[in-house]
Structures are given as C-alpha cells and as structure tokens.
Amino acid sequence: MTQHIFVTGTDTEVGKTRISVGLIKVLQQQGLRVAAMKPVASGCEWQDGQLQNEDALALSQQADIKLPYSQVNPYAFEPAIAPHLAAEQVGETISLTVIESHFAAMQLQADTVVVEGAGGWLVPLNDQQTIADLAKALNLTVVLVVAIKLGCINHALLTVQGITDSGLTLVGWVANDFLDDSQSTAIIQSLKQRIAAPCLGIVPRLAEDEDASAYLTL
C-alpha cells in the first residue's frame, strides 16, 4: 500500500515547498496519482476573493488531483507569523478535526497525498497542539528537509529525535544545500552518520523556478 507523506523541516524557509513539489513529481513518475495539502499557511495574500498562499498554490499546481483551494489549504492567514499567533489575531482556532476531514476526502481520490507542514516540527497550532500532533493525527510517514547551513546539525538531530518521540516513521531526509561550498560535504556526511533514515537526495542551490525532482529518490 502506498504511504502518504508528511514533509517537515528543520525551520521555516528551508525549502519544504520546493522539496514537496519535487517529491510529488517523483511519485508521479512512478505512475501514482498524487494529491497535495498545505493544511496551515501564514503570509497569505488576497486572490480571487480569498486568502491564498504561494506554497499551497505551487503544491496544488503540481498535483494530479485538482481540488478547491479551501480543501488544499483550509487555514490561510494573512500575517506572516507563527500559525497559532496568526489565528489568534483573527479570532480563529486551528482544529485538527477539520484538517483530518479534508485529508480523508483527499485519500479517496488519490494514490498518495503529500502534506506539507508549517515551519518546524514543534510549531504550535493552538494552545495544546503542534505540527507534530497534526502529523500524528493524520498518521503519516515523515520526510525531513534539512537546510544545509551553520547550525543545521543540531536542528536536524533534534528534529529527528522529535519525530521518533512522536512514534512516527522518518522514511528519509533531504539535504537542501544552502552553502553550496566545501563545507557542505562534511556537514552532509556528519548527518548521514547520525541519522538512521536514508538521505533521499542532495539538492544544490537552484534558481527560483528550477525543479528539484532530478535530485530526489523515493
């Protein structure tokens, strides 16, 4: 049975969307029909009468299963801040039950669903729950995107530990190389020695519209 995938990162702005879009394309090349979801997004802009997020739109555009924007991204907030704070500003509470309902409907239409998180693993969604709780509620296997830069070894290993403590399976991690110099090789090798899950790819610094799928395996 094909597993659905939750993509998380060591922090915000580490390339989760680029890697998620690349993974969708890899899955499509394997003959699978893929749906995509960005359950929670901050920093959205008004388009066509609703708040929309460029990351959610990128995922939706690559996916085979074309769904209403409100299903792909049920919680869209204008302030570019942590989701729970953005929700508080507009008097809204993020509900995992709502997200689970949208995800369940997607599962019926697709061979696999790629779900992109927000920020890092323990970013709060409300007063009690985090991104980790969202991944657990959907019972997804996890892919971790590591931004290769100063400090990433600590961030990556702490996130791996958090995923393990959540009881979920880390199926692999992706090195998204922000340095693109001689330090990168040593950092990536250090991570390979310390993370039991396989490295699914090393993605060099790419142009904004360049495809990452050629550097990924799944």
**Would you please indicate which residues are annotated as catalytic (active-site) residues?**
38
Say if CB 189 and CB 153 are below 8 A apart: no
- 211 among annotated binding-site residues: no
Contact 123, 83 (CB under 8 A): yes
* Annotated binding residue 116: yes
Q: State yes or no: 79 annotated in a binding site.
A: no
Between CA 26 and CA 131, with CA 47 as vertex, the angle to 5 degrees is: 50
Tell me whether residue 180 is exposed, middle or buried, using C-beta atoms within 10 angstroms of its C-beta: 0 to 12, 13 to 18, 19 or more.
exposed
- Cβ atoms of 87 and 75 within 8 Å: the answer is yes
118 is in an annotated binding site: yes
Spacing of C-alpha 50 from chain mean position: 22
Annotated binding residue at 85? no
* Burial (CB count within 10 angstroms: exposed 0-12, middle 13-18, buried 19+), residue 71: middle
45 is in an annotated binding site: no
What are the E-state strand segments in 70-169?
Answer: 75-76, 112-120, 141-148
Would the annotation count 78 as a binding residue? no
Tell me if 167 is assigned to a ligand binding site.
no
- What is the C-alpha separation between 40 and 8, in angstroms, rounded? 13
Rounded CA gap, 119 and 131, in Å?
8
Any binding-site annotation on 177?
yes
Annotated binding site for Mg(2+): 17, 55, 116
Annotated binding site: 17, 42, 55, 116-119, 176-177, 204-206
Annotated binding site for substrate: 42
